[in-house]
Amino acid sequence: MLPEKEYLKRFEEIQEPTVDVVRRVANNIKPGQTEIEIAKMLDAELRNDGLNEHWYPILVHAGEMTGTPVSRRYHLPTSDVCVNENDILILDVTPIDKTVWSNWAETFTIGDDDFFNELTQDVQAVVDAAYEYSSTQAKSVGDIIDFCTKEMRKYDLRSIDSRKDFGHSIFQVPEGQTVDKTPLSDRLFLNEEYRAVRLSGIISIEPHLARVLPTTGKLYGAKQQRVLIFD
């Protein structure tokens, strides 16, 4: 395991290409591509940057699948789901380099659909506001929960995360240890169970928020992310 300063430096070194890969792949997605094809594109681009392993499986949620929790337990990329001409898409990657894993989740719109554009922008507004609040005022997990809850209601959004998380910690693990081998007790989630925990280390704010499309009654979601480092 790396000393704290070395760990933070290494995290920042791999976080930057992680974000770049997600955005680069998103810019090249075309209607008709399947979730599994997009996942393979993400994997290939990460490998080009020397990130060959994954702490958590690559997740791709297209269209109506954005209205299900973003989790390997609920939906892994499939060849049965394609991107449409006007669509919404969540990409979430977690590459690992020895003991250090990075993480980036972002939602993109394909084409020009007003509902999807507004949903994506509103979730980004919630996350940006929570980031600013957390970087200046929040002291505990409960502070972030309360702030995010207030903000999402202001935009008529609801959380569809399976644990009602608004994010989680990012931390070192033994070399090569994937999420399946990482005890839940080693992790910290921004949910009610951890309300009293003081904020420290690397905290990712990334709520999965959703809204119903009035014309169809179908639920669509978006997931945006900001990362903070606390002393």
**∠211-212-215 over CA atoms, to 5°?**
145
Backbone angles phi, psi at 218, to 5 degrees: -90, 145
> Domain containing 69 — which CATH number?
3.90.230.10
Is the distance from CB of 178 to CB of 56 less than 8 angstroms?
Answer: yes
Range of the domain at 44: 4-230
Alpha-carbon distance 164 to 189, whole Å?
Answer: 9
Measured CA distances, 230 to 121, 136, 169, 227 (Å): 27, 11, 11, 10
Number of compact structural domains in the chain: 1
Per-residue pLDDT of the chain (231 residues; tens, 9 = 90+): 999 999 999 999 999 999 999 999 999 999 999 999 999 999 999 999 999 999 999 999 999 999 999 999 999 999 999 999 999 999 999 999 999 999 999 999 999 999 999 999 999 999 999 999 999 999 999 999 999 999 999 999 999 998 899 999 999 999 989 999 999 999 999 999 999 999 999 999 999 999 999 999 999 999 999 999 997
Please name the residue that has the structure tokens 């991107």: 83
* 64, two tokens: 């109506």
